[in-house]
Chains A and B, each alone.
Chain A
């Protein structure tokens, strides 16, 4: 309660207690993870309330906002960022105190941040989940790949994942890996011409090119049309071929879940026996509402989830809530190939080079993933040429020439969990609801720094292999918006927040559905794993309610 004193001082005469609801399960957060959990529970006949701090926005409005944006590279821009439901776009939302400006592009609306993502839906490798045992660094998951595999499959079916059943996704050039109990729900999309050309010329140099499983359907699936290559996955798919959590928020409602928008959770209320008995939320009108339930799932992403726990003083007997924050901190590179490869045709990314995803080097430096970015290059190419002073017909000629040869690699590194990298409620700043904003302290670790020279060496080999012209290698480090570790999973309640079922060690009716539970980051986009864990949570709760 200490966090909220300033708010109550402001509103103590104006608090209104609105109508309350009871449910079997309350899910805080309507993103992909929360909505999938809500859907599974409602489908199983449980009464479910799904809470969302933001609003529900129709796709067409977001698409139009995207087209009309003056900041098209800012993927948050087409989305609401209102004073009572701030997103990471706002300076006010998040203060950084570390050496790195961690600022992931998180959203607040029904469906959450999967409105804008590249829809990468990888599975972790068995070794990713036993990092400490295998390579002597970081932490192990308390569960194994085999434990999670059935839920990976269900998550892929929920999202409509397309993928190759024949590739070694570890990047080591072997047979199909990791093991699967069933084929991918849908076949992969066609390989872009650019991917074909890079693969043809660079794989003889020893680079293994891997298709990226993704949630852009290749044929009609669950009411979604096949991807048509609109090349706008970020900031928004205009046709809904790409999955977003909003689909399962809709599905959850269709099977009986109650969706509450404009409902910002600010307190989890503890009761007898270590139980959580209620969640308190506040609306934009200043109404405070208390909802009770038998079970609670907090699915408010990797920054907001630990904030809510810390504000509520729950689940933190280990003092690990908010600590061990990880992102796949990255770097990038652009070059011009010596031939026309025509990037920008198809979706915004399709896979990449995975040799350093796994291997003994992880004892010494971070795993590395080189993703081939595939946005229509004209904005970047034109801006660069205009900056160089080109004008007139020569500008048009150079745009065509360079856009046809433009190649972009977006590289990520495996980060290790460190207690000093942490998110907390801000000690003094409050949002319009009187709720603390965020403060983050984040430093890139030596494990990542040791990997950078290897990644840059790969960059130079790529350029040389394509007889290309290097444009740039990014300086410093880049956000990749993959929040992990902040409510870390582990077997020991003394050094972790949740167990292998994502149940908090301290409260047996409180589960956390967030990628923040992930204790070993690997290099793959963690959303599919988060959805798999969320469906697993729903199954566990369904057995107990």
Chain B
């Protein structure tokens, strides 16, 4: 975790909200710090427990995105940040999870086609979850400035990369080597109309251009 990431996370909620039980139990130094701080270990453990995603959130998120979402850290981030942005989020997630379970539907496509999938409140919660895990962040980015409600969820795990992962890279994770981009991805239909020119010196020029000698 980078310094930036850490600073954003700690500013997003209480300083110890991200600590998990095992984090708190590791290290004499940490215990000594807590003893010296006058902060109750029980209180911190309770906070840490509260920061863990609810079963309903994990269930609903996996159903809505059709993804395993086995990155516990990303789940924790998304849960904490969405709960912070919307105090009614936990309750909304419970309703969505209950609706999914009671419907007995097997996937999101069936859910959307069913009457339950027309419930605007449930759909709004599903969109919030989808946005977090597809885009990899929560909140609304400002045009500039430090005031910020956004929170990082995941980068390589963002589900928006998934549909094109055979064709485009996740930025900073290139593969294929220099000039791989000259050819289209495998399976690209042969285009109708004029054929492209791969060489720069063969670039087509307009017949209407004023030619410079």
Interface residues, chain A, with chain B CB atoms under 8 Å away: 61, 63-74, 76-78, 81, 88-91, 103, 164, 166-168, 170, 172-175, 177, 188-193, 196-197, 199-201, 203-211, 218, 226-232, 238, 339-340, 342, 344-346, 355, 359, 375-379, 381-383, 386, 389, 391-397, 399-400, 403-404
The reply to whether A172 and B123 form a contact with Cβ atoms under 8 Å apart is no
**Interface residues on chain B, size class:** 35 or more
B87 to chain A, nearest CB (A): 20
Q: State which of A66, A175, A193 has its C-beta within 8 Å of the C-beta of B212.
A: A175
The reply to whether A389 and B123 form a contact with Cβ atoms under 8 Å apart is yes
B70 to chain A, nearest CB (A): 18
The reply to whether A177 and B212 form a contact with Cβ atoms under 8 Å apart is yes
The reply to whether A386 and B131 form a contact with Cβ atoms under 8 Å apart is yes
The reply to whether B145 and A228 form a contact with Cβ atoms under 8 Å apart is no
Do A382 and B196 form a contact, CB below 8 Å, given A166-B201, A203-B205? no
B170-192 contacts to A, CB under 8 A, are 170-174, 176-185, 188-189, 191-192
The reply to whether A382 and B180 form a contact with Cβ atoms under 8 Å apart is no
A196 surroundings in chain B (CB, below 8 A): 182, 196-198
Do A71 and B150 form a contact, CB below 8 Å, given A175-B213, A342-B167? yes
A-B contact list, 6 entries, CB within 8 Å = A193-B184, A200-B204, A204-B204, A207-B206, A340-B189, A396-B162
Considering the complex, give the chain A residue whose CB is closest to the CB of B185: A342
B129-150 contacts to A, CB under 8 A, are 130-131, 134-135, 137-139, 141-148, 150
Q: State which of B3, B66, B145, B196 has its C-beta within 8 Å of the C-beta of A90.
A: B145
A391 surroundings in chain B (CB, below 8 A): 64, 108, 112, 123, 126-127, 130
B25 contacts A by Cβ under 8 Å: no
The reply to whether B209 and A174 form a contact with Cβ atoms under 8 Å apart is yes
Do A345 and B168 form a contact, CB below 8 Å, given A68-B5, A389-B127? yes
B151-178 contacts to A, CB under 8 A, are 151-153, 155-156, 160-164, 167-174, 176-178
Q: State which of B134, B160, B172, B208 has its C-beta within 8 Å of the C-beta of A206.
A: B208
Interface residues, chain B, with chain A CB atoms under 8 Å away: 1-5, 8, 64, 66, 107-109, 111-112, 123, 126-127, 130-131, 134-135, 137-139, 141-148, 150-153, 155-156, 160-164, 167-174, 176-185, 188-189, 191-201, 203-213
| Count of A-B residue pairs with CB < 8 Å | 257
**Complex CA–CA separation, A399 to B167 (angstroms):** 12
The reply to whether A88 and B206 form a contact with Cβ atoms under 8 Å apart is no
Do A346 and B181 form a contact, CB below 8 Å, given A200-B197, A204-B204, A339-B192? yes
**Complex CA–CA separation, A81 to B151 (angstroms):** 18
A393 surroundings in chain B (CB, below 8 A): 66, 107-109
A166 surroundings in chain B (CB, below 8 A): 200-201
B171 surroundings in chain A (CB, below 8 A): 230-232, 375-376
Q: Nearest 4 A-B pairs (CB), nearest first?
A: A174-B212, A173-B209, A196-B196, A392-B108
Considering the complex, give the chain B residue whose CB is closest to the CB of A347: B181
A89 surroundings in chain B (CB, below 8 A): 144-146
**Complex CA–CA separation, A346 to B181 (angstroms):** 5
A115 to chain B, nearest CB (A): 14
The reply to whether B180 and A206 form a contact with Cβ atoms under 8 Å apart is no
A378 surroundings in chain B (CB, below 8 A): 160-161, 163-164, 168
Considering the complex, give the chain A residue whose CB is closest to the CB of B149: A70
Considering the complex, give the chain B residue whose CB is closest to the CB of A170: B212
